[in-house]
């Protein structure tokens, strides 16, 4: 299928997976990243190794025509919290503004898909289910900067010809496509890695605390639907699983899959700290109206992770 697609942050954890999967369907894929992994299959993609924070790079990118731009560029939670505001703003916020501003002036873009985060919502809302219309109240710098980028995206969706979409991503997981170090800090990835390396896992969280996890294959499915959709009723979507899972349930699944693959028991220790229970019951009904469905179970996702670690 001929569509010209640019993936910003295309060699990161999610970016590399999306690049690999999208390049199997779409013929014209370009990625931009400050650090390009040498193991990326450059026979199917074009690579731009430049710094998105520079004005000259913005001009160079927006001089080209693209059907779709997917924005994955962001510092993670820890870096967003610990770096100086100027650095965080230059990476998490300004590229979105600069790109949309320039693309809108040049009329060189049809669709802009901005990856935001579920952390724009309050951690402790009393709502039974969190929808895209729920109150936003970030509890971290990471969530705050993504909310600012969402507002920029919303502005250009209303005031330009660019269809600009926000995807509020919940907790992603799954084996990396490249040797990505940061991905092992993700909750499920980290638990599986420690189980594989040490035969044990240590959990500090309250067992009744819940999280909403989504596998990279379901993330790809949502992006594919949004790329191909001729029109969308909304411009903000929760990208999450149908249901959340408690840490008690998650640990049991990891134990079962570990024993199934390695034929031995996993040692589990739980501090079960009395943390305040968070509401992670998110709705993905908007995405489902585009025929989205969660296809990969937590069991299958963890199974894939263990086999990746075993065969790596």
Compute the distance between CA of residue 61 and CA of residue 260 in angstroms, rounded to an integer.
48
Q: Examine the pLDDT at 278 and tell me if it is beyond 70.
A: no
Q: Examine the pLDDT at 268 and tell me if it is beyond 90.
A: yes
User: CB of 92 within 8 A of CB of 29?
Assistant: no
- Per-residue model confidence (pLDDT) at position 118: 95
Residues 6+ apart with CB under 8 A from 250: 188, 191, 211, 213, 298
Burial of 50 (0-12, 13-18, 19+ CB in 10 A): middle
User: CB of 174 within 8 A of CB of 14?
Assistant: no
Q: pLDDT averaged over the chain?
A: 92
3-state secondary structure (DSSP) of residue 31: strand
Q: Examine the pLDDT at 259 and tell me if it is beyond 70.
A: yes
- Per-residue model confidence (pLDDT) at position 124: 65
User: CB of 121 within 8 A of CB of 136?
Assistant: yes
- Full-model pTM: 0.94
Compute the distance between CA of residue 155 and CA of residue 110 in angstroms, rounded to an integer.
15
Burial of 311 (0-12, 13-18, 19+ CB in 10 A): exposed
- Per-residue model confidence (pLDDT) at position 273: 66
Q: How far apart are the first and last CA of the chain?
A: 32
Compute the distance between CA of residue 118 and CA of residue 136 in angstroms, rounded to an integer.
10
- Per-residue model confidence (pLDDT) at position 312: 80
User: CB of 108 within 8 A of CB of 59?
Assistant: no
Strand order in the sheet with 163-169: 45-48, 28-32, 4-8, 66-71, 109-117, 163-169, 236-239
Q: Examine the pLDDT at 215 and tell me if it is beyond 80.
A: yes
Q: What is the 3-state secondary structure (H, E, C) of 127-172?
A: CCCECCCCCECCCCHHHHHHHHHHHHHHHHHHHCCCEEEEEEECEE
Q: Examine the pLDDT at 251 and tell me if it is beyond 70.
A: yes
Burial of 16 (0-12, 13-18, 19+ CB in 10 A): buried
Locate 146 and state its tokens.
């993504």
Compute the distance between CA of residue 122 and CA of residue 302 in angstroms, rounded to an integer.
28
Q: Examine the pLDDT at 42 and tell me if it is beyond 80.
A: no
Taking only the tens place, the pLDDT of each residue in 221-236 is 999 999 999 889 999 9
Dihedrals φ, ψ of 175, to 5°? -65, 140
CATH 3.90.25.10 matches 175-211+243-280+296-307: yes
Specify the CATH number of the domain 4-172+213-239: 3.40.50.720
Locate 126 and state its tokens.
């009393």
Task: Provide the residue ranges of all domains of the chain, joining segments of one domain with +.
Answer: 4-172+213-239, 175-211+243-280+296-307
Confidence at 275, pLDDT banded by 50, 70, 90: low
């Amino acid at each position: 299928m001929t569509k010209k697609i640019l993936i910003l942050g295309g060699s990161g954890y999610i970016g590399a997976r999306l690049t690999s999967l999208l390049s199997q369907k779409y013929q014209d894929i370009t990625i931009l990243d400050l650090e390009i992994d040498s193991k990326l299959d450059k026979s199917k993609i074009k690579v731009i190794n430049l710094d998105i924070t520079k004005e000259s790079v913005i001009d160079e990118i927006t001089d080209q025509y693209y059907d779709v731009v997917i924005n994955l560029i962001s510092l993670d939670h820890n870096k967003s919290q610990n770096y100086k505001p100027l650095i965080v703003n230059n990476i998490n916020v300004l590229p979105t503004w600069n790109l949309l501003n320039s693309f809108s002036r040049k009329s060189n873009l049809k669709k802009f898909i901005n990856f935001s985060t579920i952390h724009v919502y309050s951690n402790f809302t009393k709502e039974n289910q969190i929808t895209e219309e729920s109150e936003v109240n970030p509890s971290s710098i990471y969530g705050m900067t993504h909310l600012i980028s969402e507002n920029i995206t919303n502005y250009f969706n209303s005031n330009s010809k660019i269809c600009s979409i926000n995807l509020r991503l919940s907790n992603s997981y799954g084996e990396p496509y490249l040797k990505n170090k940061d991905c092992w800090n993700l909750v499920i990835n980290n638990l599986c890695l420690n189980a594989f390396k040490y035969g044990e896992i240590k959990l500090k969280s309250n067992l009744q605390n819940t999280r909403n996890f989504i596998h990279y294959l379901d993330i790809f499915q949502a992006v594919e639907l949004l790329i191909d959709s001729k029109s969308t009723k909304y411009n903000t979507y929760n990208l999450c699983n149908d249901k959340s899972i408690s840490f008690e349930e998650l640990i049991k699944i990891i134990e079962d899959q570990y024993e199934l693959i390695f034929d031995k028991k996993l040692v589990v220790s739980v501090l079960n700290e009395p943390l305040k229970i968070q509401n992670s019951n998110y709705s993905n009904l908007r995405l489902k109206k585009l025929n989205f469905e969660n296809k990969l179970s937590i069991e299958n996702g963890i199974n894939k992770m263990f086999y990746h670690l075993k065969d790596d």
